[in-house]
Structure 1
Amino acid sequence: MSASAPRVRQKWRPRIGLIVASALALVACLPLGSVIFFRIYDHQLVRQTEAELIALSAAVAARISADLTASTPVGLRLGPAVRVGEANADGLAPILPRLDLATDAILPPRPDALPAIGSSPLADLGRRLTPELAAIRAATLAGFRVLDTDGVVVAGAGEVGQSLAHLPEVAGALAGEYRSVLRQRNSKRPIPALDSISRGADIRVFVALPVAVDGRVAAVVYASRTPANALKQLYQERYKVGLALLSVLAATTIIGFVFHRTITRPVRALIARTRAIADGDRAALQPLAHHGTAEFAQLSQSFLDMAASLAARSEYVATFAAHVSHELKSPLTAISGAAELLADDVTDPTMTPAQRATFIAGIQANADRLGALVGRLRDLARAETMPTAGACRPAEVVEALRAERPDVTIEATGDLGNCVAMSAETLALVLGHLVDNAAAAGAGRVATSAVQEGDRLFMVVADDGPGISPANRAKIFDPFFTTRRADGGTGMGLAIARAMVATHRGSLDLVDGGKGASFRIVLPMADAAN
């Protein structure tokens, strides 16, 4: 009983349909996945807005510092030392953006200003700066306020004369440090629906920069602006975005249909076909109705070739078994009959010595034939499973045959010196079978010639015997077919020789060659086999 086929280790594996569906879902979700990009982009916009406010505030602060240095107002009180940046290797102290949309808390909207007591010593400066700040606001959309050292607004749109000292960013600037915060934006306009996806959609950036005079705080520039919002533009183009999304879904559907037609359906059909063939349905040995791709067509054809080869092999084994049983039955019947007659003669001796000797000789002859048949069957099995390693030069094998068979003239011509992919022992067995058959048929000369064509060597072995009759030419390679059964022939020699050559990816055929029998052997060259 033959061993069962190895089983594939059972574990979870994704189906092709699942992989295709996942890939298509990923493609379909790419537009939605771009929201992550918008989130990162919003962060960069916040940083950009803070950097622009720092630059504008620094310009305004320089303007205020120059005015206060040139003409110090009466009652001006300087605050703590200014510490807004760290000096680098070039001696500069840049103020870098610090806000992080991912980690910094978004504070509530900016509280209203509180009443202030008394007048500010920077009131005149504030009146001079108000037109300039209005012009800057109109050009940059940034709101500016100038505060004195008590946190009282002296210039800006509204809130002049009121205090913002209670704001944490202003308090930090009054202490001599640069501060920036994110606050929810007060807006009278409706917020677009898509803005709810982004944390940066409804915020405003506030920066507070101290103005330095003699290295101490003389005023504070308080600026704010709403950063640009990528999702706002997306919302404004929502109809175009919807059309693009529908286009993506349509393209995804088309891709899914193509995948189904070219991959999923052929795979399922091929699986169903393999199961049908495994169940013994010979009608399933037909090409698929739809292959989808060239690779699946090749795979299907390879599978059909393999299945057809296995089916042919199965039929060959069944036919071969029938032949074997027939060939073994005849000598066994003869042996059994002779043995019964000899056994009867023991109890009732009526057989002459000559008759007894004839029966014993028949038993011996049939036993020898059984032994020869068993030996040939073993040789055939070994020929079909023998190793294919090795290489040799046919000229050397022919020379060895000449020494072993001096009764036959063996001639050699052509490219027999080239190396073929077959061991010398195997080639000697193949050529030996042909020479033995030629000698048994009465031939006295065997001519061996060879011609190399590409990666193959074509050898022709021809004898000068009587040849093979037309009626027997189609059957000489059939196992157990022989015209010399009376002489002990088993009819296995040529079958064994052909099996040996086929194992080495070659062929052995009978060809027309004149008077005697001619055989053509095709073998791969040693270099081609490697």
Structure 2
Amino acid sequence: MTPPWVRAKWRPSLGMIVVAVLLAVAALPLAGLFFFRLYENQLVRQTEAELIAQASVLAAAYAEAVERLDPPPALPPTPVALADPDERFHPIEPALDLTGDDVLGARPAAVPANTAVDPALQSIGVQVYALARRTQDQMLSGVRVLDFNGTILAGAEEVGLSLAAVPEVADALAGHYHAALRIRRSQHEPPPLYSMSRGTGVRVFVALPVIVHTGGHTGTHTGAHGADGDRVAGVIYASRTPNNIFRHLYGERRKVALAGGGILAVILIIAFVFSRTITRPIHQLVRQTRELGTGALAEGPADAPHYGTREIALLSQSFHDMAQRLSDRSRYITTFAAHVSHELKSPLTGIQGAAELLHDDLESENGGMDADQRRRFLGNILADTRRLTALVQRLRDLAQADNPVRGGDTRLSTVWPDLAARFPALALDIGGEDAAVAMSAENVLILFGHLADNAGRHGATTLTITVAPRDWAVTVTVADNGQGISAPNRGRVFDAFFTTRRDSGGTGMGLHIVQSLLRSHGGDIQLTAEQGGSGAMFEITLPRG
């Protein structure tokens, strides 16, 4: 049994294990969902960035062609200016957020234009669209080239119609870059698996104004209205559906497989934790319980498992201690019953033999025994009777020592006067410090009374007692100046019924009773070296009060 002063190893509680596992299981889908959304949003921004790059190239070609026209076209007075003319670069960063931005409805249909198209711009639009068609196989984007009124100059079947009412186009005609997320129109239903992805149901639209400068400056710009010179000559309106996340994940299937393996490893770790901390200790306890019930643990239970939760560890240790005590008690009862039967048999046999001889003598006509012989047999009967009486009394003392009434605190200094009164033939020499022990005064007196009686019966005249308080217990050394204990007998002095004074009435129970009483209170006794070559010395450990 682990002493109470030894610090116990920290173990997680069963509730902590269950909560931790539930949180881990709950976090897995949340983490997966977060990754799914984050990755999907990244694909949307990647699509926007590609559309910005493509539209920027087309807008630059459009603006350069417009600036070479002679005479220049009559552009509306929509002046724009760079946000910082001193800066050489004016990048447009993708800013669409699939998780935060509203997804607009499908793109409104083009409507008839209210104004005529400039033929020169129409020709430029066709040239720019032809450039876009060359990249369409790789970029997979739809492109509309608009003039400064929002009329489609080139772009599939909608040429000549107007998109000026579309919000992102209207913002671009005012000189600002604008991007939007709109519901995707499709003639085919997406596969069932694709319905999990929000990105597969939207389309990214980018409207980039074409900025021209009569002084030769060419660019694309999203700035505010400003000085004369910069004009909006048209709009590049491009759109594309973001890359499908499942298709993209298939392209990254090795990394996905690695992530899946990581999740599987987490699941296996959770299963191992459950098995090691809960399932295996419980199965071991069940197995030991069955073995204990069938008597298979005759030699004592196996060691308690060194793993598990705090509750299972306490349960396992309690069961282990209980099984060990039951095993020890079973062996003790078996051995004790054999000793008791032997000790009772000898005096009973002597009484029976003497009684039979006396009975036969009374039945005899001649009366063969004289008075001395009868007196000797009666004396044997009385001696054996007294031995039986002493043996029964010691057995009662042992039963009380094995199951004492615990509780109470006693200062040792209050016990010494009573001990001296009970054994006047022994001179008590008390030394050391006074201390309180966690035993009743009656049990303390029984304890030292047996030691004093044992010393007196072995010829001691002085009993030296030294008290030494410690942090968790009280150590008491008891030494006498008697005959001492021979080397062959030192290992058997605490065995029940072992005595070298059997002829003078010794029962061999005194030191065994002392040991049982101490152990039932959490203490112990040990035989130490002899004092000066004679006498006996015992070291007693008592629980501190």
Q: How many residues align?
A: 448
* Aligned partner of residue 199 in structure 2, secondary structure: coil
Q: Any conservation in 2 of the 1:145–1:222 contact (CA below 8 Å)? A: yes
Q: Indicate conservation of the 8 Å contact 1:476/1:494, yes or no.
A: yes
Could you tell me which of 229, 236, 244 is aligned with 2:251? 236
Q: Corresponding residue for 1:163?
A: 161
1:496 aligns with 2:516: no
Mapping of residues 202-281 of structure 1, within 5 Å: 203-207=202-206, 222-228=237-243, 230-238=245-253, 240-241=254-255, 244=258, 268=283, 271-281=286-296
Residue deviations 1:80-122, cap 9 Å, x none? xxxxxxxxxxxxxx999676468956856x68756657623x6
Any idea what the Cα deviations from partners look like across 1:242-283, whole Å, max 9, x if unmatched? 764796699689979988997766764553233122222236
* 1:379 alignment counterpart: 400
TM-score scaled by length of structure 1: 0.56
Summarize deviations over 1:179-224 as a string: whole Å, max 9, x none: 8342437799xx999867533247421255899989xx99776443
Pairwise CA RMSD of aligned residues?
Answer: 6.7
Number of the residue aligned with 2:216: none
Of the three residues 463, 482, 494, the one matched with 2:480 is: 463
| Structure-2 separation of matches of 1:160 and 1:226 | 20
Change (3 A) 1:491 1:423: same
Rate the CA distance shift 1:145–1:418 in 2: closer, same or farther, 3 A.
farther
Alignment-mate amino acid for residue 433 of structure 2? G
Q: Cα distance 1:374–1:234, how it changes in 2: closer, same or farther (>3 A)? A: closer
* AA matched with 2:522: H
Q: 1:135 to 1:456 in 2, by over 3 A?
A: farther
TM-score (norm 2): 0.55
C-alpha distance 209-30 of structure 1, shift in aligned 2 (>3 A): same
In structure 2, the partner of 1:91 is none
* Change beyond 3 A, Cα 1:469–1:322: same
Relative to 1, partners in 2 of residues 1:267 and 1:463: Cα closer, same or farther, differing over 3 Å?
same
2:239 maps to a residue whose letter is S
| AA aligned opposite 1:39 | R
1: CA distance, partners of 2:534 / 2:393 = 27
Q: Whole-Å Cα distance in 2 between the matches of residues 476 and 213 of structure 1?
A: 111
Distance, in Å, in 1 between the alignment partners of 2:409 and 2:54 is 87
CA–CA distance in 2 between the matches of 1:509 and 1:386? Answer: 25
Provide the C-alpha distance between the structure 2 equivalents of 1:521 and 1:136, rounded to a whole number of angstroms. Answer: 102
Which amino acid in structure 2 is aligned with residue 40 of structure 1?
Answer: L
* CA distance, structure 2, for counterparts of residue 184 and residue 192 of structure 1: 15
Aligned match for 1:407, one of 402, 406, 425: 425
1:351-376 deviation line (CA, Å, top 9, x unaligned): xxxx9xx9xx99x9899869945862
Match of 1:342 in 2: none
One-letter amino acid matched to 1:119: A
CA shift for structure 1 position 409: 1.6
- The equivalences for 1:330-369 within 5 A come to none
CA distance in 2, matches of 1:270, 1:157: 79
Counterpart for residue 152 of structure 1: 151
Answer yes or no: is 1:431 the counterpart of 2:475. no
CA contact (8 A) 1:391 1:420 kept: yes
Correspondence for 1:85: none
In 2, the alpha carbon distance for the partners of 1:56 and 1:271 equals 72
Distance 2:237 2:255 in 1: 39
Conserved? CA contact 2:434–2:467, under 8 Å = no
Aligned-residue identity in percent: 30
Q: Return the alpha-carbon distance in structure 1 between the equivalents of residues 542 and 208 of structure 2.
A: 89
Change (3 A) 1:243 1:471: closer
1:464–1:515 CA contact under 8 A, matched in 2: no
- Structure 2 SS opposite 1:206: strand
User: Which residue is equivalent to 2:182?
Assistant: 182
Q: Is the 8 A contact 2:391 2:507 kept in 1?
A: no
- Provide the secondary structure at the position in 1 that maps to 2:512: helix
Aligned mates of 2:299, 2:167 — CA distance in 1? 82
The AA in structure 2 aligned to 1:272 is R
Distance 1:136 1:166, change over 3 A: closer
Q: Which runs of 5+ in 1 are unaligned?
A: 1-12, 79-93, 339-354
Q: Is the 8 A contact 2:121 2:147 kept in 1?
A: no
Greater CA drift, 44-53 or 442-451 = 44-53
- State yes or no: 1:282 paired with 2:297: yes
Q: 1:325 to 1:270 in 2, by over 3 A?
A: same
Cα contact 1:183–1:204 (8 A) shared by 2: yes
Hey, what's the Cα distance between the residues in 2 that align with 1:397 and 1:479?
27
User: 8 Å contact 2:522–2:543 — kept in the other structure?
Assistant: no
AA aligned opposite 1:380: A
Cα pair 1:113 1:159 within 8 Å, conserved: no
8 Å Cα contact 2:475/2:540 also seen in 1: yes
